[in-house]
Amino acid sequence: MDMNPETTLSALRDFCAERVGVELATRLVGLARPGFALTAAGPGEAAGHSRFGGRAMLEPGTPWPTCEGFPLSLLAVLDTDALAPWLGGLLPPGTGLLNFFCLDFESEQRDPVADALMGKFIGNDPQVVRVIAARSAHAVETDPPSGSSVFAPVQWAASAGFAFPDTWDPAWDHLDLGPEADDKARAMPGMYIADLFPEWGQRPGALDSEDIAFGRPVYPTGSGPWMPGGEDPNVYHHLLQLSGQDEWWIGGDGGWMHWSIPTDALRAGDFSRAIPTPDIW
């Protein structure tokens, strides 16, 4: 994290203004959300306790999450104590560790019961995931119950930056493109912006990773976030994108897992309202 958020946003706004002018650049940067590129950590690089796999970090007495009584599997831990300074007050103070659980129905470790459950619950059903917070000073590594998979831990380094909506994300529909944009641009604003910035990947604060904390989700299938009951995805905030690991995948041949949460619940620290928004192919 070489720069603070304000410095990075200023550099990002200047980068955009050189190509589309100050007014559109200011509106465009308004869509950027702070996040982190997650990569395997070298010695001394880990972002606190952030990691893929391993055992859950829960406060003593916390019930293990289940789907119809069958235990979910711990997929990741995010240490928000290490990440919060970049997030600008998005999280309540003292949020601590976030444990990300999901029903394991794909890995070689999966229990046959999980296969039966996935015949009943599709991958974007809220019952197949859970996010549980634990205060860092109280959290302890917790052994899972029988049936829950345990994946080899990979500590994460976290590189801070800002994420923009994916090409087909409905968040683009709220961007005022200005009077120069034609009807085609207004119909496909994400594509229009991409065409204006052939060097978009070189922008300040770009998150260059398939695994991302916070920020915004990426959907390689060319789709966008699906929300239960047709809710507006713009009132949700992205928590974690997990592209897959050697031991775990979602969706058979591939697929990326996402956890999202209503922004008001995130600011209140109510992680019981987190939902899955996977991209499966």
pLDDT in tens, 100-127: 999 988 888 889 898 888 778 766 788 9
Domain holding 188, by residue range, is 5-276
**Does the residue 242 lie in any domain?**
yes
pTM: 0.93
**Does the residue 101 lie in any domain?**
yes
pLDDT in tens, 47-62: 999 999 999 999 999 9
137 versus 220: which is more confidently predicted? Answer: 137
pLDDT of residue 42: 96
Please give the backbone phi and psi of residue 26, each rounded to the nearest 5 degrees, phi first. -65, -40
Question: Contact at 8 Å (CB) between 55 and 152?
Answer: no
Count structural domains, the chain.
1
Instruction: Kindly state the average pLDDT of the residues 149-167.
Output: 95
The CATH number of the domain holding residue 190 is: 2.30.320.10
**Residue 1 clears pLDDT 50, i.e. is over it:** no
**Does the residue 281 lie in any domain?**
no
Strand order in 129-134's β-sheet?
Answer: 129-134, 97-102, 73-79, 51-52, 154-163, 33-40, 212-214, 236-242, 257-262, 275-276
Q: Report the alpha-carbon distance of residue 277 to residue 54 in Å, rounded.
A: 23
**Does the residue 174 lie in any domain?**
yes
